[in-house]
Amino acid sequence: MKTIKILQAVLLITVVAMTASCSSSRGYYSQTYPRPQANFSLIISPSPGFVVQRNPDGMYYYRDQLGHIYWRGYDNRYYLDTRYVTRAYYHHQQYNDWNRYHYNGRHRR
């Protein structure tokens, strides 16, 4: 008679442990969510309504609605400041063009 009660207790503990381990909250932590990507360009060209400002050291820059700063290059295009590049979603061709401008000695910042 004692062995039946012990078996029932072990069976009950096993069922409770299995139910607790298969709860829906466990799946929440194992899910990975994609990192939200910002969609703004590394290089922009001036257009109508493009408000450009001048820095005290003489360089021209543009600040977009999100607060990102673009510096004017010699080709009259505006290149995203280096501190914002890791936040942007871009294509490799656009990054290569941006990188060529920033690291070949043409950017004075």
Helix (H, G, I), strand (E, B) or coil at 66: coil
User: Domains of the chain: which residue ranges?
Assistant: 43-103
CA 65, 70, 76, 77 dihedral sign is: negative
Q: What is the pLDDT of residues 86-98, one digit of tens each?
A: 777 777 777 777 7
Confidence of residue 60 (pLDDT cuts 50, 70, 90): very high
Give the pLDDT confidence of 11-48 residue by residue, as tens digits. Answer: 777 777 777 666 555 455 555 555 555 577 888 888 88
- Residue 63 reports pLDDT greater than 80: yes
